[in-house]
């Protein structure tokens, strides 16, 4: 699995069937995703799920807004369902 922060524009070009987790930033300009695809045009890439999770804790105001972050188990167990995407 690959973990990235990407722009909304890049997100719109990706195959949604290959995305297993997706979180939109609070301002709606970026997405934090896990995907089987390789995304070369990314803002940030992570070596593994742990560094991806830690990034959300370090940048809480951008992603969660409450001083916490997204736990590894939440990334693993929260499926991305494209039909529910706002």
Task: Please indicate, yes or no, if residue 57 is contained in any of the structural domains.
Answer: yes
**Nearest CA-CA partner of 44 in 26, 28, 54, 32:** 32
- Rounded average pLDDT per 10-residue block, the chain, 86 residues: 97 96 96 97 98 97 94 96 79
* 34 in a structural domain: yes
Residue with tokens 């499926």: 79
Within a domain: residue 6? yes
- Residue 79 pLDDT: 92
Tell me the C-alpha to C-alpha distance, in Å, between residue 73 and each of 13, 47, 49, 62.
27, 17, 9, 20
Q: What domain count does the chain have?
A: 1
Q: Does the residue 86 lie in any domain?
A: no
Return the pLDDT at 86: 64
Structure tokens at 38: 């390789």
Which pLDDT does position 50 carry in this prediction? 98
What are the C-alpha distances in Å from 47 to residues 2, 27, 44, 63, 67?
A: 8, 25, 10, 19, 23
Range of the domain at 59: 2-80
């Amino acid at each position: 699995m690959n973990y990235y922060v990407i722009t909304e524009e890049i997100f719109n070009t990706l195959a949604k069937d290959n995305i297993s987790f997706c979180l939109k930033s609070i301002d709606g300009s970026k997405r934090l995703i896990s995907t089987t695809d390789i995304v070369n045009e990314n803002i940030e890439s992570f070596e593994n799920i742990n560094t991806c999770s830690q990034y959300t804790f370090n940048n809480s105001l951008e992603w969660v807004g409450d001083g916490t972050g997204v736990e590894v188990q939440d990334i693993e167990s929260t499926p991305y369902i494209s039909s529910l995407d706002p």
